Amino acid sequence: MITGSFPADIFQSIFEKSPGSLLVKGDIPRFTIIAASDSYLQITSRTRENIVGKGFFEEFPDNATKDDENAARKVFTRVVETGQKIEVPVYRFDVLSNNTGKYEPRYWSCCNTPIADGGNRVAYILNTVVDITEEVMAKEAAIENENRLRLAAEAAAFGTWELNIQTQVFNYSPRLAEIFGHPAGTSLGLLDVRAQIYADDMEHIVVDAYLKALKTGKYLYEVRINWPDNSLRWIKVQGVLVYDEKKMPLMLLGTILDTTESKRDEIRKNDFIAMVSHELKTPLTSIKAYLQLLSRKLEPSNDKFINNALHIANMQVNRMTDLIHGFLDLSKLEPGKLKLNLQVFDLNKLIEEMIGETTLISPNHKISFKPGEYLTVSADREKIGQVITNFLSNAIKYSNKGSEIIVSCQQQAGGVQVAVKDEGFGIKPKDQEKLFQRFYRVESSRMKNISGFGIGLYLASEIIQRHKGKIWVESAEDMGSTFYFSLPLHNK
Ligand code: ADP
């Protein structure tokens, strides 16, 4: 409660310049208006002479509803009776616009402060109002946007979720519970949800995705979950990381989608490819063996046509064998299917072996490699060999005969980095981003005559990622390419 006295003239001029203030007498129920500030008069389109001396509710019943009026009367009465300050955080009072001549909705927040006379009796109420229309409108727009977003997400059968990383508070839309096999809106904690994710996927996929999100800001994974009826379902989770003002990770938020149907289709397709590839392996091995026998038998005849035909047949059989192995590998990439057979070995030695094999098949390129120090990694030797061979065979495929390929293997901070550099056609930036996707091939007239299926680099990137390594390319069109991968160094 404000008490004490002010020099009347000073008080008056301060008051009249103050933003949105009105002084009324505590004479229940009339509440006679004693003074009004300039801005208050402007807001209410009144003049001082018109309102001073009148009862508040005689003057301001215009566009207020009866309920609003009663509520305001109650507030004034309570201020006088209790001597307590009462705030009204938001109310609507429409204002006559000078431009349109019509009432326009505006929102206000007001505070009613009791002012005592010499004793304890409330003699006046100081009513100060603040225009909060902008804030209210912004909040309404935000709510509307959120609702719109939620409707769109629901139409797409998405669930939405947010996780506060610091407090671990987890909020989600009702659809999320359905995706996990519960009635919509069931209350689930973060631990309940995590417990339904396959342990293997949780350990290898979710944890990796989280660590990646901390680095890149983007969260993405697809994993298997167990429904309460014990059936297997697939979910795809996508999100972004939000930082606080100190740039610390604050929230993860995003969407969740049930991808079981499309995943089942994909698995059926993969199983089919695996089955066909497997069936083709046996006759192909036998064709290859017979071709070799034929070659050996017919070579001494020196018949140019026969030798040429056998050479081409051999090449085609090799291509087909590569393709079939590629498809078989592809079908093993389902989570839980690609098992790494870890062993500790020297990477330099493996690179030398792979270069040896490649040179035998493609003797027309010069491959140089200077093995450096002994660098041991703990990895799947065969699969890393496959990645190196893929880099080498691409470097050969996508460059001119006689050009040079340089291989290097170096120790970097905490890891080993292998690079295969060619002087070939190079790759445009827009293609570089997509090379590691399944079935992606660069479309250009030059590439048309080079066979391939766009699975080699996809397989390589899956293999390297499972080893917690990195794979990337640096290239420019017509300037050659360098493909890299890195692996964590084995600590002895
Ligand atoms: P494939 O060679 O069977 O098409 P990959 O997955 O190994 O499949 O490669 C995908 C695509 O990346 C290739 O089709 C090619 O366009 C491009 N590419 C790969 N390596 C190189 C390279 N060294 N130089 C230029 N382009 C390359």
Q: Is the pLDDT of residue 345 over 50?
A: yes
Residue 299: band (very low, low, confident or very high) from pLDDT cuts 50, 70, 90: confident
273 lies in which domain range? 263-333
Q: Work out the pLDDT band at 62, boundaries 50, 70, 90.
A: low
Q: Are 87 and 76 in contact (CB under 8 A)?
A: no
**254 three-state secondary structure:** strand
Higher pLDDT, 298 or 236: 236
* Mean pLDDT computed over 145-152: 77
CATH number of the domain enclosing 275: 1.10.287
Give pLDDT, residue 166: 87
Are 394 and 442 in contact by the 8 Å Cβ rule? The answer is: no
Whether residue 311 contacts residue 298, with contact meaning beta carbons closer than 8 Å, is answered with no
457 pLDDT higher than 90: yes
Task: Count CB neighbours of 115 within 10 A.
Answer: 17
Choice between 480 and 299, residue whose per-residue pLDDT is larger = 480
Contact present, 36 and 15 (Cβ < 8 Å): no
Q: Are 224 and 335 in contact (CB under 8 A)?
A: yes
Q: Tell me, yes or no, whether 314 and 426 share the same domain.
A: no
Within a domain: 362: yes
Least confident of 19-33, 304-318, 328-342, 405-419: 328-342
Q: Which residue has the higher pLDDT, 189 or 300?
A: 189
345 C-alpha to ligand 1 centroid (Å): 28
pLDDT surpasses 80 at 483: yes
Q: Do 107 and 15 belong together in one domain?
A: yes
- Alpha-carbon Rg for the chain, nearest whole angstrom, is 38
Closest CA to ligand 1's atom 7: 456
* Domain annotation covers residue 12: yes
- Does residue 175 lie in a domain region? yes
How many Å apart are CA 23 and CA 4, to the nearest integer?
A: 16
Buried-state track 338-367, b at ≥16 Cβ within 10 A, e below 16: eeeeeeebbbbebbeebbeebeeebeebeb
What are the helix (H) ranges across 126-253?
133-155, 174-179, 190-196, 199-201, 207-216
Q: Which residues pair with 160 in a beta bridge?
A: 255
Which range among 252-266, 290-304, 445-459 has the greatest average pLDDT?
Answer: 252-266
Q: Is the pLDDT of residue 70 over 90?
A: no
Give the residue carrying structure tokens 């402007």. Answer: 42
CA of 219 to the centre of ligand 1 (A): 27
Residue 234 binned pLDDT confidence (cut-offs 50, 70, 90): very high
Q: Amino acid letter at 372?
A: G
pTM summary value: 0.54
For residues 96 and 229, membership in a common domain is answered with: no
Per-residue pLDDT, 1: 46
Q: How far apart are CA 356 and CA 373, in angstroms?
A: 19
Does residue 142 sit within a domain? no
Based on the domain organization, do 346 and 478 belong to the same domain?
yes
Residue-averaged pLDDT of the chain: 87
Q: Is 77 helix (H, G, I), strand (E, B) or coil?
A: helix
- The neighbour count for residue 80, using CB atoms within 10 Å, is 23
Sheet bearing 107-116, strands edge to edge: 33-36, 21-25, 122-131, 107-116, 86-92
Q: Which two tokens stand for residue 170?
A: 């987890």
234 falls within a domain: yes
Asked if 291 and 240 sit in the same domain, the reply is no
Same domain, 459 and 479: yes
Average pLDDT score over residue span 172-179: 91
- Model confidence at 352, pLDDT cuts 50, 70, 90, reads very high
Q: Is the CB of 422 under 6 A from ligand 1?
A: yes
What pLDDT, on a 0 to 100 scale, did the predictor assign at position 446?
A: 80
In a domain, 381, yes or no: yes
Q: Are residues 119 and 30 in the same domain?
A: yes
Last residue of a domain, one of 135, 169, 195: 135
Residue 148 domain-assigned? no
Query: What's CA 193's distance to the chain center, in Å?
Result: 19
Q: 38: which DSSP letter?
A: H
Domain boundary among 258, 290, 308: 258
Best mutation site among 319, 320, 435, 473 for ligand 1 pocket (most ligand atoms within 8 Å of CB): 435
Nearest CA to ligand 1 atom 19: 394
User: Between the ranges 53-67, 72-86, 312-326, 331-345, where is the mean pLDDT highest?
Assistant: 72-86
425 lines ligand 1 (CB under 6 A): yes
Instruction: Judge whether residue 257 has pLDDT over 50.
Output: yes
Rounded Cα gap, residues 468 and 24, in angstroms: 74
> Is pLDDT above 70 for 408?
yes
Considering the domain architecture, whether residues 245 and 192 belong to the same structural domain is answered as yes
Please report, to the nearest 10 degrees, the dihedral formed by the alpha carbons of residues 283, 288, 294, 296 taken in order: -150
CATH code at position 194: 3.30.450.20
H-helix segments, 415-477: 429-432, 445-448, 456-466
3-state secondary structure of 24: strand
- Whether 481 and 408 share a structural domain: yes
- DSSP string across 404-429: EEEEEEEEETTEEEEEEE--S----H
Pocket mutation for ligand 1, best pick of 329, 358, 398, 482 (most atoms within 8 Å of C-beta): 398
Domain membership of residue 190 (yes or no) is: yes
pLDDT digits (tens, 9 = 90+) for 76-126: 999 999 999 999 888 888 877 778 888 888 888 999 999 988 777 889 999
| 3 pLDDT above the threshold of 70 | no
pLDDT at 444: 85
> Is the CB of 481 within 6 Å of ligand 1?
yes
Provide the H-helix boundaries in 206-346. Answer: 207-216, 260-298, 304-331
What is the CATH classification number for the domain harbouring 384? 3.30.565.10
At residue 118, the pLDDT reads 77
Report the first-to-last Cα separation within the chain, whole angstroms. Answer: 76
Same domain, 320 and 409: no
The helix/strand/coil state of 88 is strand
**Residue 170 confidence (pLDDT) above 90:** yes
- Specify the range with the lowest mean pLDDT, choosing from 382-386, 414-418, 488-492: 488-492
Does one domain contain both 309 and 370? Answer: no
**pLDDT-above-70 percentage for the chain:** 96
The β-bridge relationship of strands 366-369 and 404-412 is: parallel
For ligand 1, what atom is nearest to the CA of residue 441?
14
Determine if ligand 1 sits within 6 Å of the CB of residue 452: yes
Task: Work out how many domains the chain is built from and give that number.
Answer: 4
SS3 content of the chain, % helix, strand, coil (to 5): 45, 25, 30
Asked if residue 435 and residue 311 are part of one domain, the reply reads no
Using pLDDT thresholds of 50, 70 and 90, give the confidence band for residue 6. Answer: low
CB burial of residue 187 (10 Å; 0-12, 13-18, 19+): exposed
Q: Which of 276, 299, 333 is the last residue of a domain?
A: 333
